Amino acid sequence: MSYVDDHNLFNEFPEHTDRIEYLWKQDADFATIAEEYHSLDKRIRGLQMSGIPTSDYYFEELKKRRCLLKDQLYHKIALPYSAR
């Protein structure tokens, strides 16, 4: 079995750990998106590690959705910093 990257938000944005924790507790929209992101990342990693045959189209769609969610989350994470 080969190594599979963990795209957990805390791994992706370690410099924003405090902000992520704060938003997860205080912003229901952020929490909903973050939960979907983490669930999707777990599913993608599970498929990568299991070797279960999956169509390239399906796998790429999952990764595109994860990327879209990550962009939405980053916008919420970084917005206050970019407004300075």
The overall average pLDDT reported for the chain is 89
For residue 81, what pLDDT is reported? 54
For residue 19, what pLDDT is reported? 95
63 or 48: which leads in pLDDT: 63
For residue 4, what pLDDT is reported? 67
Distance CA(43)–CA(31), nearest Å, equals: 18
The residue-averaged pLDDT of 34-62 equals 91
CA distances from 60 to 27, 34, 71 (A): 29, 20, 16
The residue-averaged pLDDT of 52-80 equals 92
63 has a pLDDT exceeding 50: yes
